[in-house]
Structure 1
Amino acid sequence: MTAIALATACAVVYGAADFYGGLASRRSQVFAVVVLSQLAGLAFIACLLPVLPGEGGTAALAWGMVAGLAGGGGLIFFYRALAIGTMSVVAPVSATISAGLPVVFGLAVGERPAPAALAGVALAIAAVLLVSRAPAQEPATRGLGPLALAAIAGAGFGGFFILLGNAPEDAGPWPLLGARIASILMVTGIALASGRGLRPAPGSLRTIVLAGVLDMAANVLYMFAVHRGLLSLVAVIVSLYPASTLLLARQVLGERLTPVQVAGVGLALGAVALIAAA
């Protein structure tokens, strides 16, 4: 598969993972959701490592662990934002920031995408902004709290993408093992130090596990995509994951889509096509 195809699949799976993680966070403590979903992801990647190409090593695990600290911190803020805000608003805000940081970094280190690809990047960011528009009659963000949390989460996710993209190309998914170990230790430590419970609400464990497995599957797709294409392009495609979250929120929770949001989904498809054709 090409880098763009892998990144597109990654975006779809990330969106589903975020939906189920946010759904679980409305019933259970955020720290319980993050820790248990991360443990599920750790078990999943441990099963995949023997069958996927890649070589582990100190550098691979080190880059992964640093990335895991950034991503794990972002996930705490993100799930909290999803729990108190509207999914179809929170997800695009974090995605816009998590896309912008890798683009800036990629250009700064010398990546030079084709003009058509840059046009696709601009279209993708516009798509995310349109998708983030909530119906005017709904108090979508309930104040500035969810938006601020989503912005911090986006910075964490952007750092995660950048750091994983710097792992050795022959490492395959091994950095993800380091990332999961570091994030689990960090989040568990914070939870214990702050007296937060890690027991999920009754009936929510299955949703939490599903979120963790989907998140790790998306991470694997990202690792293979970023080593086959430019970080500045792959990260932008991946950032379109709110479209998947939004559609699931529409189908499962009944969150309404405005014509502007529908137009945003259409622009997202156009952005993928432009970048793929470049």
Structure 2
Amino acid sequence: MSAELLAISFALLSAISWGAGDFSGGVASRRLNPYLIALLVHTTGLLLFTMLAALRGEAFQAQDVPWSVGAGLAGCVGLVFLYRAFETGQMGLAAPIAGVVGAGLAALVGLALEGFPAPLQLLGFGVGLLGVWLAARPEGGSGPSRGLSYAFLAGLGFGGYFALIHQVEGLFWPSAIAKLTATTLMLGLVGWLGPLRREAGLSANLGLVGLAGLLDALGNVLFLVAAQAGRLDVAAVISSLYPAFTALLAWGLLREHLSRSQTLGVLFSLAAIALIASG
């Protein structure tokens, strides 16, 4: 398997992991405070990455620290606003909006740093972004979904994470530093906001939140491997197809209605994967 095809495979696995993680976190955000969920998700990732870095004996590289800190800040902002969007709007719409904004920003950075990809891959970028946009459109075109501004800000955060974490050379230590940065930021935010609300159901939903944290961490590692093995824009666009998996899970498990536009968006996302892989 070529390095580029391997990168595409890891990026697709990242999209599946992030999509399932956002679904788990989105369900929990309807029952618990979204800031608490974001804090627990980042803390789970911090513990997991630190343990894996120590077990693997990975060398710590000081030059990765600034990029990791910046990625942690951007990723934290993205996750907080995504959960806020889930809390105020329909999960199947908020996630695609965040996805298309994040993918678009990362693709622009990738084009600037690495030049244009193969023609079929470039076509795949356009089809993928169109697919995510179709999935994000409200049914009947009656206007934007609630939480649109939160979803847009989440996308900017995710796009910043893609671009910054791509610059590191390590694997688990940079991810651990990014999660440490995000966890510290969330602790400060929670302390500034004061007592958390809706904490009563935490014990009943702790498994769901833990699952979201593990899947988010797995998606981070898979994306980083994909970005290091291939092009940033390829890894970012395919990884950003995660809203299709979130929407499918919301449809299959929560019986959320998928409009014709959303269904087309999922199909376009699949077509984009084939185009990018064939390029």
TM interval, short-chain normalised:
over 0.9
CA deviations 1:61-118 (Å, max 9, x no partner) are 3321111011101111110101110011100111111001111111122422011110
1:223 counterpart = 2:236: no
Deviations 1:175-226 (Å, cap 9, x if unpaired)? 1000000000011101101214284624111111110110000001011000
Aligned-CA RMSD value: 1.9
Question: For residues 126-275 of structure 1, what are the structure 2 equivalents within 5 Å?
Answer: 126-136=130-140, 141-142=145-146, 146-168=147-169, 171-197=170-196, 199=199, 201-202=201-202, 203-275=204-276
| CA shift digits 1:7-29 (9 cap, x unpaired) | 00100110011111111111111
2:50–2:173: 8 Å Cα contact kept in structure 1? no
How many residues were matched structurally? 273
More displaced 10-residue stretch of structure 1: 132-141 or 233-242:
132-141
Q: Which deviations, in whole Å up to 9, do the C-alpha atoms of 1:152-175 show, x marking residues without a partner? A: 11001100010000112xx12321
Alignment partner of 1:25 out of 23, 29, 54:
29
Q: 1:23 to 1:139 in 2, by over 3 A?
A: farther
Deviation (angstroms), 1:137: 9.6
- Aligned residue for 1:38? 42
Q: CA contact under 8 A between 1:29 and 1:200: conserved in structure 2?
A: no
Q: Does 1:74 align with 2:73?
A: no
Q: Distance in 2 between matches of 1:85 and 1:138?
A: 15
CA distance in 2, matches of 1:63, 1:200: 37
TM-score by length of 1: 0.93
Kept in 2, the 8 Å contact 1:87–1:246? The answer is yes
Deviations 1:247-266 (CA, angstroms, capped at 9, x unpaired): 11011211011222222111
- 8 Å CA contact retained: 1:26, 1:83: yes
d(CA) in 2 for partners of 1:140, 1:209: 31
Provide the identity percentage.
37
CA contact (8 A) 1:111 1:232 kept: no
Deviates more, 1:189-198 or 1:208-217: 189-198
* Cα offset, 1:30, TM superposition: 1.2
The residue type equivalent to 1:259 in the other structure is R
Comparing 102-111 and 122-131, the one that deviates more: 102-111
Structure 2's unaligned 5+ residue stretches are: none
Verify the 8 A CA contact 1:7 1:238 in the aligned structure 2: yes
2:237 maps to amino acid: V
Which structure has greater helix proportion? 2
- For structure 1, which runs of at least 5 residues remain unmatched after alignment? none
